[in-house]
Structure 1
């Protein structure tokens, strides 16, 4: 299987393209992850807007370079604005990222809502192994937002989900696996503290959207985000000891890429 790292010219080039293009990226996410998600995008030069205020969900997707929707936005929003944002993105032809956080953890009504968003044709679906296995129709194994499977366990489910939906599917873990259903690539690296910082996975969805705004090929854009995140996490981990300083250093290291 092909591996992609930050050393691949396409990855550094993609981050440089975000900086040069300064794309507007609109997102719906949960209040826990919003701050880090915005800072991750700002660190690489994108311009984020987050939230479902008034008619944001129906208006902003048409003018955005890309959109990301973390379905835990339902924590503080009703379902309709979330659906409206997905619908508006599809209608405008704006690429968008679906992060089905906690799907498959046993909340039946929530799981049905998440599955309904697939009708609006996300460009990329990213999540952990349990989430993506459940979304693909496999056994529900998640514990809340935490996975009980390794990323390698979910490669087959991710490939099936990609073929069924037409989306690029990205499984996060010690090694990330990205697939369009035909081509599957591995992105190694990162730091274990990504699993210990609230919103770190959610923020990766935001970064994927930032890359989708400027990188034409969706699989390449997804690899750009994952490989950049992995190297920034490694560099942050090398110079910090605790999880709080790691979170700050992660944003710092992203801000130093391709400058």
Structure 2
């Protein structure tokens, strides 16, 4: 997984087994967007701005979405994010082959290359930085991932490290919309895939991703096979090819 300085957020407008390595190349230039007022265009123009970015309605519930870099998160927001993650995932990690390593997870989650979609409800506060309790988040990075084919080499991906919602927020279609937003961001930056890692024990998550069109990537353990004598991997690497998206029926309110 390579350092994503090649993909800086626009100025205004597996987790892999590999360590980060820098690259000085910068995309530069304007982002290609399907339509000036489409959700993907609106979202792309909002990336990197501070404060409440936009609202959207999902199943007759309005949500406030804010996009931030990890280094823009306050200590309180980091605490809230990690509490949601720990509530949802600690027991699953404790049963996994890697175990639960909170210090390592915090370093991964709040790495400088991490980007967040933070979810709150509009009535909670207009200043998310100060008092609002977030209801969930999606964390991703722009990365490179290997292909099995030497001809293809590395491909540019939007890698979803975490999507976590509070229990009372699930089952309302919000997770699906957050993943759609990530796909739109990936499309705006001309990424080839959206990728993620999921614990096979987490059957609810596996079913959710499959319903969105994610399937085992060619580099997933189930596809490349396990070395003889090693235990079966307890995770899958899923991916979905990024396509140019059309107008969504999600109501984006700027």
Computing the radius of gyration from Cα coordinates, the structure with the larger value is 2
Structure 1 and Structure 2 fold alike (TM over 0.5): no
Higher relative contact order (CA 8 A, sep 6+): 1
Q: In proportion to residue count, which structure has more strand?
A: 2
Q: In proportion to residue count, which structure has more helix?
A: 1
